[in-house]
């Protein structure tokens, strides 16, 4: 165990106990206290090397044991109190850790026991499960567990999967928007593959692509519109006979023509 790097220093007691000492003597006194804390009881040699000739008033603050070593009784008491407190805190911490560990082990043991019992039941003839003098078919347990616990989870996962699948980029028109229309791609509700097919059933590729480019160049697009499909469908329905973007190839994104041929 590492040595305690500190001890309690009561400033009021120190000032009261050193009123009859000079400043030099006070310096000797506090230095010897620190040395005792670090080295233990002091020999005369240690005192001379540290403080030179300590005065009689300073040495009066120290007692001498049977081996001739000097020590301050109050300092030893404070060191002992601090050590006892530290030991108690360490014991409490260890007991708390053991308690938490035992609780974790009991939880794991319960889980393993449950799994083991289920495995045993699966291996028993006729799939019979015996617990607390109650005989139950394993099939009933599995069905009950599935319906009561697993089914809601599976349904939720299916809903999430279905919801995500609507917005996967699988249709060529979706790819065209992603690669050529970054502003359109920022709209909150993106177009689905099913909605792409609805548009292609009503309009040709060029009409759709030119309208998308017009949307892309509309500065207020992201602040005014939410849905790609609804916006694109409305713009296509009210488009002029000749779109201005058709005759302005500079408004079209990179690889526009190649992308256009792909959907």
Parse the chain into domains and list their residue ranges.
1-115, 124-162, 172-261
Residue 246's pLDDT is 45
Residue 189 · residue 228 · CB < 8 Å: yes
Give the SS3 label for residue 154.
Answer: helix
Residue 4's pLDDT is 83
Closest CA to 9 of 53, 29, 51: 29
Residue 239's pLDDT is 79
Given a cut of 80, whether residue 33 has pLDDT beyond it is yes
Q: Does residue 124 or residue 25 have the better pLDDT? A: 25
pTM, entire model? 0.38
Given a cut of 70, whether residue 258 has pLDDT beyond it is no
Give the number of other Cβ atoms within 10 Å of residue 215's Cβ.
Answer: 20
Residue 261 CB contacts under 8 Å (≥ 6 apart), including other chains: 205
Given a cut of 70, whether residue 253 has pLDDT beyond it is no
Residue 7's pLDDT is 87
Residue 247's pLDDT is 44
Range ranked top by mean pLDDT from 11-25, 83-97, 138-152:
11-25
Mean pLDDT to the nearest integer, 158-180: 77
Residue 224's pLDDT is 92
Q: Does residue 197 or residue 146 have the better pLDDT? A: 197
Q: How distant, in Å, are the alpha carbons of 78, 223, 261 from that of 187? A: 71, 9, 24
């Amino acid at each position: 165990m590492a040595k305690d790097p500190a001890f309690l220093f009561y400033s009021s007691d120190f000032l009261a106990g050193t009123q009859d000492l000079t400043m030099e003597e006070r310096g000797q006194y506090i230095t010897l206290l620190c040395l005792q804390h670090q080295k233990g009881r002091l020999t005369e040699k240690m005192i001379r090397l540290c403080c030179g000739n300590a005065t009689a008033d300073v040495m009066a603050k120290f007692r001498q044991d049977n081996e001739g070593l000097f020590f301050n009784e109050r300092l030893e008491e404070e060191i002992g109190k601090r050590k006892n407190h530290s030991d108690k805190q360490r014991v409490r911490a260890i007991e708390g850790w053991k308690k938490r560990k035992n609780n974790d082990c009991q939880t794991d043991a319960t889980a393993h026991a449950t799994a083991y019992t289920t495995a045993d039941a699966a291996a028993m003839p006729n799939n019979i499960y015996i617990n607390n003098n109650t005989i139950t078919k394993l099939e009933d347990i599995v069905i009950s567990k599935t319906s009561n616990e697993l089914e809601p989870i599976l349904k939720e996962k299916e809903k999430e999967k279905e919801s995500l699948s609507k917005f996967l980029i699988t249709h060529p028109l979706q790819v065209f928007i992603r690669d050529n229309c970054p502003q359109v791609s920022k709209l909150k509700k993106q177009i689905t593959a099913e909605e792409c097919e609805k548009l292609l059933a009503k309009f040709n590729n060029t009409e759709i692509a030119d309208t998308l480019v017009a949307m892309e160049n509309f500065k207020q697009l992201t602040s005014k519109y939410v849905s790609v499909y609804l916006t694109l469908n409305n713009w296509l329905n009210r488009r002029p006979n000749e779109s201005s973007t058709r005759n302005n190839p500079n408004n079209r994104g990179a690889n526009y023509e190649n992308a256009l041929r792909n959907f």
